[in-house]
Amino acid sequence: EAQVTQNPRYLITVTGKKLTVTCSQNMNHEYMSWYRQDPGLGLRQIYYSMNVEVTDKGDVPEGYKVSRKEKRNFPLILESPSPNQTSLYFCASSFGGHQKETQYFGPGTRLLVL
């Protein structure tokens, strides 16, 4: 089944404890992206990757890191999480090198930073 998977789905952590949220897609998509969704602020893009070894900042990249060493994986790294990073995180992927096409979303990761 074609899908985007995220792990973990739920995570409670404490301030400053490094964490990684994994994202994997099995559709051979070039493009992948991370978003966060917050009440009243909508869906905002954190980072995106147009292809392997190519990443770029979205609108809210502060406090996050990403890497794209393989086409199928795009992990989101929080080196020192803070309470304001408590959010619902989504990973997405699509075909398209220069321009992305239909985006397919993962199920989301709900993160609580205490």
Q: Tell me which residues touch other proteins (CB under 8 A).
A: 31, 33, 35, 42-45, 48-50, 56, 58-59, 90, 92, 98-108
Shortest approach of other proteins to residue 16 CB, angstroms? Answer: 28
Nearer to other proteins, 81 or 106 (CB): 106
Considering beta carbons, is residue 79 or 101 the nearer one to other proteins?
Answer: 101
Measured from the CB atom, the residue of 70 and 101 that comes closer to other proteins is 101
Coil, strand or helix at 61: coil
Closest CA to 93 of 23, 7, 2, 31: 31
DSSP secondary structure code for residue 55 in this structure: E
Residue 97: phi, psi to the nearest 5?
A: -85, -65
